[in-house]
């Protein structure tokens, strides 16, 4: 009874949360879209986490799965226009279901090489799959080729996107709540031992690929109907890397890590886009930027040294503060000096122009200081607030 109570409660809570999200951001068209996109990124990163973090299969073809889902939905809408008479929400759900299944089958195909390949070799195969898909779509004119494809109707629903993210998270979390989830983790940890313990590695890997791909495909369908237009350029290879980065940055195998990293990494460039002073985008001089970069590298090195070599917490704190203060001072001094260098002095850049520079710097800094990812293998949960931290991943 208690079980079903909890179960029902969490479902109601999730639906209510998604509905709340929808009502909050509904009126704000700019945010609306960003929230949907954030939900999609969360879906992508959690589903890749299942393949990459939890099962340990090094896949960097997730943009390919995303694209598959989007194109499945786009192509069906193109060749079956009578479907448009359906109510939009039901149509979107139908498309998500079809994309889910279709991309799952694609995941099966891509997952099969994983039975023979490992590590970097598997990575290049999954990368190659994404590229093949992009090139084939580019060359297939019936489905738009490089011209792209208009997808109608456009459906913009935070609720559905958020529910997709919640379901993805729930599926992965539920899996890790049970002993079956341990099979996935054991494949990641040691394939020989897991097989000796009777785990069917083949099944596990294929299931991981299928489920991971299927959720990405469903996200693709949502994306296609959100954008109303898809083309191969919408799914560049770089997206695969960004999803991978989200997984690793959050901590491989940590679902909460993936969620947080997805939201943060998606938000950084978008936040920087909007960063402004009195309505003008924040601008600073190139000299200042270079000075900041140099000081940043120095501060990072100092922080890294502190982390590795200094062991008393007071000394650590002092050094961390010193690194930050030092970085600020050095930035100021160097900026003053660099301003006199003609190549750097005159130029001004807006913060929105260097969004991706900052993005990459954050990436490097986090990886240097916390290589196991922000959450490591752990999940964020109530136990963090308890006195004794549990070291267990799951169950």
Window 319-338: residues binding another protein (CB under 8 A)? none
Q: Is 278 helix (H, G, I), strand (E, B) or coil?
A: coil
Q: Which of 5, 80, 82, 179 forms a contact with another protein (CB under 8 A)?
A: 179
Residues 295-314 that bind another protein (CB under 8 A): 297, 301, 304
Integer Cα distance of 59 and 57 in angstroms: 6
Residues 73-132 that bind another protein (CB under 8 A): 81, 84-90, 93, 97, 113, 116-118, 120-121, 123-125, 127-129, 131-132
Nearer to another protein, 207 or 259 (CB): 207
> Of 25, 3, 210, 23, nearest to 114 (Cα)?
210
Cβ atoms 176, 54 nearer than 8 A: yes
**CA-based end-to-end distance of the chain:** 21
What number of CA atoms fall less than 13 Å from residue 170's CA on the CB side?
12
Q: Which of 13, 139, 328, 337 forms a contact with another protein (CB under 8 A)?
A: 139
Query: Does residue 163 touch another protein according to CB under 8 A?
Result: yes
Task: For Cα atoms 285, 289, 295, give the angle at the middle one, nearest 5 degrees.
Answer: 140
CB of 139 to another protein, least distance (A): 4
How does DSSP assign 321-354, residue by residue?
HHHHHHHHHHHHHHHHHHTTSHHHHS-EEEGGGG
Q: Is 203 helix (H, G, I), strand (E, B) or coil?
A: helix
Q: Which stretch binds another protein (CB under 8 A): 173-181, 313-321, 323-331, 332-340?
A: 173-181
Query: Does residue 356 touch another protein according to CB under 8 A?
Result: yes
Q: Which of 98, 237, 282, 302 forms a contact with another protein (CB under 8 A)?
A: 237
Nearer to another protein, 211 or 216 (CB): 211
CB of 256 to another protein, least distance (A): 16
Q: How many residues does the chain have?
A: 395
CB of 156 to another protein, least distance (A): 5
Integer Cα distance of 77 and 83 in angstroms: 7
Cβ atoms 348, 284 nearer than 8 A: yes
Question: What are the two backbone dihedrals, phi and then psi, of residue 280, each rounded to the nearest 5 degrees?
Answer: -95, 140
Nearer to another protein, 195 or 263 (CB): 195
Q: Which of 12, 364, 381, 384 forms a contact with another protein (CB under 8 A)?
A: 364
CB of 77 to another protein, least distance (A): 9
CB of 93 to another protein, least distance (A): 5
Q: Which of 181, 217, 250, 288 forms a contact with another protein (CB under 8 A)?
A: 181
CB of 201 to another protein, least distance (A): 7
Number of residues that bind another protein (CB under 8 A): 140
Q: Which of 9, 174, 348, 384 forms a contact with another protein (CB under 8 A)?
A: 174
How does DSSP assign 22-87, residue by residue?
HHHHHT-HHHHHHHHHHHHHHHHHHHHIIIIIIS------HHHHHHHHHHHHHHHHHH-GGGGGS-
> Of 274, 248, 277, 276, nearest to 261 (Cα)?
248
Nearer to another protein, 98 or 324 (CB): 98
CB of 310 to another protein, least distance (A): 15
Angle between helices 158-177 and 255-274 (to 10 degrees): 150
CB of 329 to another protein, least distance (A): 21
Q: Which of 264, 268, 282, 394 forms a contact with another protein (CB under 8 A)?
A: 394
Residues 264-293 that bind another protein (CB under 8 A): 269-270, 273-274, 281, 286, 289, 293
What number of CA atoms fall less than 13 Å from residue 280's CA on the CB side?
6
Q: Which of 169, 199, 243, 260 forms a contact with another protein (CB under 8 A)?
A: 199
């Amino acid at each position: 009874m208690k079980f079903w109570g909890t179960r029902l409660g969490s479902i109601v809570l999730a639906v209510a949360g998604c509905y709340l999200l929808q009502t909050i951001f509904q009126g704000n068209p700019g945010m609306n879209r960003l929230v949907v996109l954030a939900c999609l990124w969360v879906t992508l990163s959690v589903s890749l986490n299942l393949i990459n973090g939890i099962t340990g299969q090094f896949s960097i073809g997730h943009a390919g799965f995303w694209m598959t889902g989007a194109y499945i939905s786009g192509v069906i809408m193109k060749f079956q226009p009578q479907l448009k008479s359906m109510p939009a929400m039901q149509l979107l759900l139908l498309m998500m279901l079809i994309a889910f299944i279709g991309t799952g089958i694609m995941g099966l195909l891509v997952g099969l090489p994983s039975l023979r390949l490992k590590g970097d070799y598997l990575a290049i195969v999954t990368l190659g799959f994404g590229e093949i898909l992009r090139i084939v779509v580019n060359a297939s004119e019936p489905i738009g080729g490089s011209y792209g494809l208009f997808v109608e109707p456009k459906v913009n629903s935070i609720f559905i996107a958020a529910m997709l993210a919640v379901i993805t998270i729930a599926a992965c979390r539920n899996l890790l709540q049970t002993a079956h989830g341990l099979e996935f983790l054991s494949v990641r940890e040691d394939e020989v031992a897991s097989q000796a313990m009777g785990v069917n590695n083949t099944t596990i890997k294929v299931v991981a690929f299928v489920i991971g791909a299927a959720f990405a495909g469903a996200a693709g369908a949502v994306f296609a109907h959100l954008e109303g237009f898809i083309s191969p350029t919408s799914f560049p290879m770089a997206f695969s890397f960004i999803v991978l980065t989200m997984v690793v940055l959050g901590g491989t195998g940590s679902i909460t890590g993936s969620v947080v990293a997805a939201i943060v990494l998606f938000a950084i460039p978008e936040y920087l886009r909007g960063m402004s002073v009195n309505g003008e985008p924040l601008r600073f001089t190139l000299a200042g930027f270079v000075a900041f970069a140099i000081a940043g590298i120095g501060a990072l090195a100092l922080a890294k040294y502190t982390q590795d070599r200094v062991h008393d917490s007071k000394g650590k704190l002092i050094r961390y503060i010193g690194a930050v203060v030092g970085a600020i001072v050095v930035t100021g001094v160097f900026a003053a000096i660099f301003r006199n260098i003609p190549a750097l002095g005159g130029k001004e850049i807006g913060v929105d122009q260097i969004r991706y520079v900052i993005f990459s710097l954050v990436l490097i800094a986090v990886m240097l200081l916390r290589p196991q990812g922000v959450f490591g293998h752990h999940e964020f949960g109530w136990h963090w607030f308890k006195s004794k931290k549990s070291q267990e991943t799951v169950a």
